[in-house]
Chains A and B, each alone.
Chain A
Amino acid sequence: MIAVIDYDAGNLTSVSRALTHIEVENAVTSDRDIIAAADRIIFPGVGAAGSAMKSLVRLGLDQVIRQAVADGKPVLGICLGTQIILGFSRENQTPCLGIVDGTVASFSEVFAASGIKGLKIPHMGWNRIQMKIAHPVFAGIDESDEFYFVHGFFPQPKDEAQVLATTDYGIDFPSVIGSGNLVATQFHPEKSGPPGLMMLKNFSRWQPC
């Protein structure tokens, strides 16, 4: 069973609906015991880093997620969930979980610093990913496949080896990160049509070594 972590961060039912559609047993929950008992965890989220971190701490879920990663359980981060895994977010200057060393950068700050003009923020719509490292969760995904993004911030792991894929939006930003039993996407697989569903299916079977 996959536990989809519910921490008052946006519409989580879409992740659950996508899993149900591909016949993967799942529960949307903030119950620590259910999460601890789950085989795998999806950590989704839409919204702002500041309020999301507050909710996580209030529900005691920050420790639950750290523990799941430490236990070697397959964990999939999505969008805001992916960002919160890092150490610090430029959004609301928020200290985050620190499971992956690094920061969450802002497109507007990066664009301003590098003189990139004319690109709308958020980065909203369909874009491709360039795999840096082959990964079982992305088996069968082609480089021409596109995924649905909507975000103004992006993850920047300190260790380049944790960048599994990048996406081009003015800059090549990390769009899939992870290591070991953790994989995390900046895009929304649950809203990305058949390639997104395939990725979720792959995750539901993934046995990290």
Chain B
Amino acid sequence: MLSKRIIPCLDVHAGRTTKGVKFKNNVDIGDPVEMARMYYEGGADELVFYDITASHENRDIMIDVVRRVAETIFIPFSVGGGIRTLEDMRQVLLAGAEKVSVNSAAVRNPDIIARGAAAFGSQCIVLGMDVKKVEKSEKIPSGYEIVINGGRQYMGMDALAWALEAQALGAGEICLNSIDADGTKDGYELTLTELIATRVNIPVIASGGAGTPVHLKDVLTAGKADAALIASMVHYGTYTVAGIKQYLADQGVRVRQTW
């Protein structure tokens, strides 16, 4: 039986880890390579890095971070943020990332998913989805709409329809982020997560809203997520990955407990 994965997420700005709420007010919280080592040694199942600068002059800094992380940790990790072309993907994968994640670039140009999957394999291509709850309508039947630019721009796309389309195009996994829940520490968006996770055949990583281990249990059981993304819960030492896993195991959630 597969273990549920616990995945710390690091936002990287110009080579440093930062944390902001709803994509704003970013503060420096450390060296991404050192943090990667700490999470690797502490039992994280996988890591996610988002390059939140994603400007071209910072591209090389990020690739260097990816290379150093790959020399330091021996678990899978994905890199997202500013991935727009096959060449962007190739650079990140060659630097040692296991997966690349595409978000707004795929919304604007879904073909990047198909071309990425054909070039590097579906297992490498993660679709990042930023989602907001809206009124159900003919255009948005699920009541969840795709947004970009940190939630500022509504795309008129239904989240469930987009998840299914991305799967058909060759995405190997979905990282599902609720913009409404992100940064609140009030828990994951369970209805959204369950909706997507039970309708696609690829793994779904739930993202946004984690504040306590109970939230992880809820999203991995009721929410049917395959994995849970965490950030501030562990970045400030409030919880440890090992502590969260112990709680989940005690609650009957299968997690990896030896490393």
Residues on A facing B (Cβ under 8 Å): 10-11, 13-14, 17-18, 20-21, 46-48, 120-127, 142, 144-146, 148, 150, 168-169, 190-197
Contact = CB atoms under 8 A, between A and B. Distances in A.
Interface string B209-230: 0000000000000000011000
Nearest to B44: A193
Nearest to B198: A118
Contacts of B226: 120, 124-125
Nearest to B201: A120
Contacts of A145: 258
B3 A17 contact: no
A11 B173 CA distance: 18
A122 B125 CA distance: 13
A21 B71 contact: yes
Contacts of B173: 124
Given A169-B1, A195-B259, A124 B74 contact: no
A125 B74 contact: no
B180 to A, nearest CB: 26
Interface of B: 1-3, 5, 40, 45, 70-71, 74-76, 93-94, 96, 98, 120-123, 172-173, 201-203, 226-227, 256-259
A146 B6 CA distance: 14
A13 B258 contact: no
Contacts, number: 84
Given A169-B2, A197-B74, A144 B123 contact: no
Contact of B45 (A10, A21, A125, A169): A125
Given A144-B257, A148-B75, 5 more contacts: A17-B70, A46-B121, A125-B5, A195-B258, A195-B259
A197 B75 CA distance: 11
A112 B170 CA distance: 21
A142 B258 contact: yes
B93 A11 contact: yes
A191 B259 contact: no
Contact of B2 (A10, A47, A127, A196): A127
Contacts of A10: 120-121
A11 B201 contact: no
B96 A13 contact: yes
Most B CB contacts (10 A, CB to CB) among A124, A127, A144 go to A124
A17 B94 contact: no
B259 A47 contact: no
Nearest to B2: A125
B250 to A, nearest CB: 16
Nearest to B43: A193
B74 A191 contact: yes
A146 B74 contact: no
Contacts of A193: 40, 74-75, 259
